[in-house]
Amino acid sequence: MTSNVLVAVDGSEQSFDALEYALSEFGDATITVLTVLDPAEVGAGTEIAMTVNADEWMATAEKRAESHFERARELAGTDVDLRTETEIGRPARTIVEFADEGGVDHVVMGSHGREGVSRILLGSVAETVVRRSPVPVTVVR
């Protein structure tokens, strides 16, 4: 029986589709919504990297994560054991480490997250998690 499901949420519609799937399929489990704050979002040499300091980036990233969590709580309602976690790091690696160390039985995530240069340069987070996860992964399209 699945008792602790990790859902990676990055703010994309597919990540919230993954949360809805987890809520419908694993409603009796503890659902942990994880948002990974990726410092690589502010790439070296870009205009934004030259104007944003670490404290400003962190404050903005934490506000964005909290808005993801608010939406997750709305979707879950009050009958679900929903927990929220924020980690800093590279998304795929951080998701796998969290699953490995956090007592997670199953990971659910969207097949595509945010678009943009980081996705092209870094490859698919979902693919990496599927290959490296110590527990089963469901990818929602």
Which H, E and C letters describe the chain, residue by residue? Answer: CCCEEEEECCCCHHHHHHHHHHHHHCCCCEEEEEEEECHHHCCCCCHHHHHCCHHHHHHHHHHHHHHHHHHHHHHHCCCCCEEEEEEECCHHHHHHHHHHHCCCCEEEEECCCCCCHHHHHHCCHHHHHHHHCCCCEEEEC
pLDDT at 138: 96
Q: Report CA-CA distances (Å) from 72 to 26, 45, 87, 96.
A: 15, 34, 17, 21
- What are the boundaries of each domain within the chain? 4-140
The predicted structure's pLDDT at residue 43: 55
pLDDT of residue 1: 74
pLDDT at 120: 47
pLDDT for 63 equals 96
**Across the 141 residues of the chain, what is the mean pLDDT of every consecutive 10-residue run?**
93 94 96 94 54 81 96 95 96 97 95 56 75 96 83
The pLDDT value recorded for residue 52 is 65
Which fold does the domain 4-140 belong to in CATH?
Rossmann fold (3.40.50)
pTM: 0.86
